[in-house]
Structure 1
Amino acid sequence: MRRPNLAGRHLRLPALRLLSLTALAVGSLALAGCDSTRDALGITKKSPDEFVVVTKAPLVLPPEFGLRPPEPGAARPQEVPARDRAAAAFGGASTDAAGQITPLSRTGGPNATARSAGEQALLQQARAGNVDPDIRRKVNDEFTQLAERDSRFVDRLMFWQGPTEPGLAIDPAKEAQRLRENAATGKPLSAGTIPTIKRRERGPLEGIF
């Protein structure tokens, strides 16, 4: 009766254990490299976006108590839009003590209230008071010209052959044969009917392919 090879079995067990540990380590590294796994485990550091952080307007006592009750989900009247806050930060509007923003008028110059000397110097260097009221139309006209120029260049690449105008054209082979026959028979060159070819109007995609 043969005895079981216990030495070989003991050698195979550490090898299997080492292989299992290696596979587990590789799998852990692969999972740690995934963004979703890093977010789920809290490894990725997420700092607040300074452009998304909003501020709540302070609570104030209403001037009268006959106001209508607030509606759930409606915007608060004290909330100032981010666009107006940005305009006030760059000198395009003024903010009063209650947090209300007076936007820049369309006809007047920049509002110079509640501005420091440095802000006024910065706006003067940036020529904020010399803004062309028709600047939007001029910019749109410039972009329209660029778009038309690009379209003409593309048309030249695609439609490099000029369009063939429909009409009548002389058939060169038949015309040469007519002239030879007139010369052989002694007839004048203008005798006979000039053979022509009627050109049909081509389709819009016929000259491309």
Structure 2
Amino acid sequence: MRNFTRITLAIGTAAMLSACSSGLIASRERPDEFAVQRQAPLVIPPDFELVPPAPGAPRPVEGTAAQQALEALFPAAQRSAVETSALDRAGEAEIAIRSTVGDPGTYTVDKGATTRAIIAAPEGDGQAARAVIPS
């Protein structure tokens, strides 16, 4: 009985494998992707406004990469009347305001324990930050 099962499985496997070789996928004709459309020759169109650079001449300066990135991310947009009015009323900030705020000679007003806790917080990226909820 064992041999009969093995022979039956072998014949069935051979029949299935022979069906695969003459199947639709292996013998079908595929189009040649390069013969479908004639390739146009690569030609650079002339631009008569461009002047070829002189040998050894410095490259034209169009701004730094950081400036180009900022302009791409935040393009110049028209401000609304409300925003323009708010900025006009706020006035101009001092140039070194961030340096003078931390100076011991600067007079500041005590805003409470929360402000002191924020100012006294250690510097970092905030990965070790914890929130304490009073009960």
**TM-score (normalizing by structure 1):** 0.22
More strand by share: 1
